[in-house]
Amino acid sequence: MFTDSGRLVHEPVMTAELVAMLEPNVGGQFLDCTVGTGGHARALLEAGAERVIGIDRDREVLPLAAATLTPWAEHVELIHSDFRQVDLLLDERQLMTVDGALADLGMSSVQLESEGRGFSFRRDDPLDMRMDRSSGPTAE
């Protein structure tokens, strides 16, 4: 979905339920394993989380997440990685525990609506279908 400024953004679902379940508190550290455009991370920060580490396999969404999370820039770290590397990423930061973690699995509207991604049947794009276009072969 596009904003008034023409920026492509994915509006996350169930943010109220997420905040109620994770109960972010002042000083809390959270891990968003699929940060996307930053909607869930924003909800955690608005509810009081001190720090959010956002991971995404899709390098192209990280600037969108950074824009969404600008008011909390000093409380956010965005990392281009696969969430399967979470243990290594936390070890590198000497972070032994987090107060909560989430993963919103599947494709986002950004991937479906972006030209050239090859996820949607609505466009006559090359069949790419990679979450990370910098790695591996395309689906063609």
- Per-residue pLDDT tens for 36-87? 999 999 999 999 999 999 999 999 899 999 999 999 999 999 999 999 999 9
Banded model confidence at residue 32, pLDDT cuts 50, 70, 90? very high
Q: Give yes or no for residue 129 having a pLDDT over 70.
A: no
Q: What is the mean pLDDT of residues 18-36?
A: 93
Q: Where are the domains of the chain?
A: 21-105
Q: What is the largest CA-CA distance in the chain?
A: 48
Predicted confidence (pLDDT) per residue in 4-19, tens digit: 455 556 678 899 999 9
Residue with tokens 């899709």: 58
What are the angstrom distances between the C-alpha of 71 and each of 4, 41, 67, 92, 97?
Answer: 19, 12, 9, 26, 25
Q: What is the pLDDT of residue 2?
A: 46
CATH topology of domain 21-105: Rossmann fold (3.40.50)
Structure tokens at 32: 């968003």
